[in-house]
Amino acid sequence: MPGSASHMKAWVCRAFREPFELALEDVPIPVPGPGQVQIKVAAAGLNFGETLVLKGAYQKTPPLPYIPVSEMSGVVSACGEGATRFQPGDPVSVFSFALEGGGLGQYAVMPEACVFAKPTAISLVQAAAFPFNYWTAFNGLEQRGNLRAAETLVVHGATGGIGIAAVAIGKLLGAQVIATGSDDARLARVRALGADHVINLRTENLRDRVHALTGGRGADVFLDPVGGEVFDLSTRCIAPGGRILVVGFTSGVWAQARTNILLVKMVSVIGVEARLAIETTNGRGLADYLRLLDLISAGHVVPHVGNTYGFAEVLQGYDDIIARRHVGKSVVIVDPSLC
């Protein structure tokens, strides 16, 4: 609960630097302005990209001081003038396209356009786990990558939050899904969650295994949040006309594409940026995001929660993501009474 009637607890970043610094502070509860909704936060989703924001290494820099996390769930606590879609007490999920942040505070204020009714089939904890990762996977595979039934999808970094989501979306779209990673125990959990095959890149040869699983043809689509050498390996076992979806660079290294290989195999390299897919597509991306919410409400997509942390354990959650000790999405329980 807030420390006083006008203040709350929040994790605050006051300078973007490496190593990043977050401190748990008492700060004023944000008040909703015109077109805004105030949310009593139940849970917030952590992701690797947020660590880049805190280090000042992300492509977009929010204003300081900054309360991290732009995907969260909770209940509406107040509405500003002109915000009419929700009432106090409504359970909601939030995905801030503009990186407003706020999820690691006990209350957050968001533009009404970034607030959505919680899908009926899931909990508030799950509602904080899906917005960024499952939307990235859905937009990347269905729209950007045009993944079709009976094609073969390779998901790199499959034990991470986006990876687990991509395995689920790939299976939903009817693909054969090959998941890669670097730890057998974590890959076994991905296999149990639906991957058809797993490949440990530390101990197995990606090219040989993909060719063996595809009759020598290669895989049609690669979803790559890793970059670096993994991108290069993908070009050696991609099918003619295949697509590589560039989602991120958790390896810390971006690839230099060999255009001769792209040419002779007719390979498409496609960037996937979840927020831009909504902000820059004249409503098409938002309509697709609403379709994803419908699929979740209908039970066709079930958001996976890998690790949960208490509100005081935020730094441990980020440490686990950086050290790759997690499997799937990590979620902070901000208010246990709501979860």
**For residue 263, is pLDDT > 60?**
yes
DSSP structural state of residue 61 = -
Domain 132-274 bears CATH identifier 3.40.50.720? yes
- Segment 116-130, tens digit of pLDDT: 999 999 999 999 999
Domain ranges of the chain: 7-130+303-333, 132-274
Task: Indicate the pLDDT class of residue 100, thresholds 50, 70 and 90.
Answer: confident
Comparing 7-130+303-333 with 132-274, is the CATH topology the same? Answer: no
Confidence at residue 4, expressed as pLDDT on a 0 to 100 scale: 58
Top-tier CATH class for 7-130+303-333:
alpha beta
Mean pLDDT of the chain: 95
**For residue 2, is pLDDT > 70?**
no
DSSP structural state of residue 208 = H
Q: What is the mean pLDDT of residues 87-101?
A: 92
With vertex at residue 135, the alpha carbon angle to CA 120 and CA 282, rounded to the nearest 5 degrees, is 105
- Segment 63-88, tens digit of pLDDT: 999 999 999 999 999 999 999 999 99
Residue where the block lists tokens 């203040």: 7
Q: How far is CA 173 from CA 216, 251, 337, in A?
A: 23, 28, 36
User: Tokens for 316?
Assistant: 């441990």
**For residue 251, is pLDDT > 90?**
no
CA distance 328 to 326: 6
Give the residue with greater pLDDT, 274 vs 7. 7
How many angstroms from the chain centroid is the CA of residue 194? 18
